[in-house]
Amino acid sequence: MFYLASLVPSHGSPEKYTYGTVQTDTDGYASAEDLLHDIISEGNRVFELGVDELPGQAEDIRECLACNPGRVFMSLLFDEPDYFCIVELP
């Protein structure tokens, strides 16, 4: 199953990003694309780092990752960048 996972500054190295909360309290999705579709259908504008042009207040954090999440996304939450990825868990 696929779940949304936040990417947050690491406690030990704030210049690096790592996994934050994984949203396992909700039903998982059969595919990452289904999860992305639901996020977008809720009215969120989602940007994929390395694919989409990011809004001015966002940064491409992929080189600052202390983890290996694969695809990294960003949406604006109260006009601040909110970075996340989609993880597959059993």
Tens digits of residue pLDDT in 7-22: 999 998 989 999 999 9
Per the CB < 8 A criterion, the answer to whether 52 and 29 are in contact is no
User: How deeply is 70 buried, as exposed, middle or buried, from its count of CB atoms within 10 A (0-12, 13-18, 19+)?
Assistant: exposed
pLDDT in the model for residue 59: 94
pLDDT band at 77 (very low <50, low <70, confident <90, very high): confident
The per-residue pLDDT for range 25-37, each reduced to its tens digit, is 778 999 999 999 9
Number of H-type helices and E-type strands within the chain: 1, 5
Distance CA 53, CA 86 (A): 20
Full-model pTM: 0.89
pLDDT in the model for residue 26: 77
Per the CB < 8 A criterion, the answer to whether 84 and 4 are in contact is yes
